[in-house]
Amino acid sequence: MKTRLTLIFLIAVSIAITCVVIDRGRAQNAKQASPIYGVTIPDGYRHWELIAPALEGDPLNELRAVVGNAEAMNAYRSGTLPFPDGAILVKLAWKRTQSHEFEPASVPGAPTTVQVMVKDSKKYAASGGWGFGRFIDGKAVDQAQHETCFACHEARVQGHDYVFTRYAP
């Protein structure tokens, strides 16, 4: 009887340890950081407010929506530039697919990338104060892709604190 109880106890402990290990693995995976910048996908971003939608034409052919945390939304609504430290923008993207219920419309299909910009003027001083992260299925893409982020933003939208998206009222 005592042996059986000890066995059950050991099995229970093993299960508990396994669960903890699996859970940690998931958390690390979900929190994978981008190369160069160490940016992660922020918790709860899907609950953030909408800044604006967009259409990315061929070859990607994606519908997109950029959402922002409270710091970002406050800056947009008050017209504050540069964005304050702590502002975070997340761009969601989906393949654009024809609606089968309403002919003139196309709607989000499969999700593609999640792209993140984090404002920290000290940490990211070398890239206009912004850290970048591009994720597919929750995993950051490679360093070569991340090397293109700031170069493009710097060349095209330096006058808007390196941010493309404007607030759509």
Contact call for residues 88 and 119 (beta carbons, < 8 A)? yes
Contact call for residues 151 and 132 (beta carbons, < 8 A)? no
Q: Does 151 bind a copy of itself (CB under 8 A)?
A: no
Site string for a copy of itself, 19-38 (x = CB under 8 A): --------------------
Contact call for residues 118 and 131 (beta carbons, < 8 A)? yes
Residue type, 43: D
Contact call for residues 89 and 64 (beta carbons, < 8 A)? no
Among 48, 83, 124, 150, binds a copy of itself (CB under 8 A): 48
* Segment 68 to 97, residues that bind a copy of itself, using CB under 8 A: 92, 94, 96
Residue nearer to a copy of itself on the CB measure, 58 or 144: 58
Q: How far apart are CA 52 and CA 125, in angstroms?
A: 27
Instruction: Select from 18-26, 42-50, 117-125, 141-149 the region that touches a copy of itself (CB under 8 A).
Output: 42-50
Prior bond of 84 cis (ω within 30°):
no
Q: Does 64 bind a copy of itself (CB under 8 A)?
A: yes
* Segment 111 to 150, residues that bind a copy of itself, using CB under 8 A: 111
Q: Does 45 bind a copy of itself (CB under 8 A)?
A: no
SS3 104: coil
- With residue 30 as reference, give the H or E element that holds it: helix 2-30
Instruction: State in angstroms the smallest separation of the CB of 60 from a copy of itself.
Output: 7
Residue type, 121: S
Q: What residue ranges bind a copy of itself (CB under 8 A)?
A: 46-50, 52-58, 60, 63-65, 67, 92, 94, 96, 99, 101-102, 104-108, 111, 156-157, 164-166, 168-169
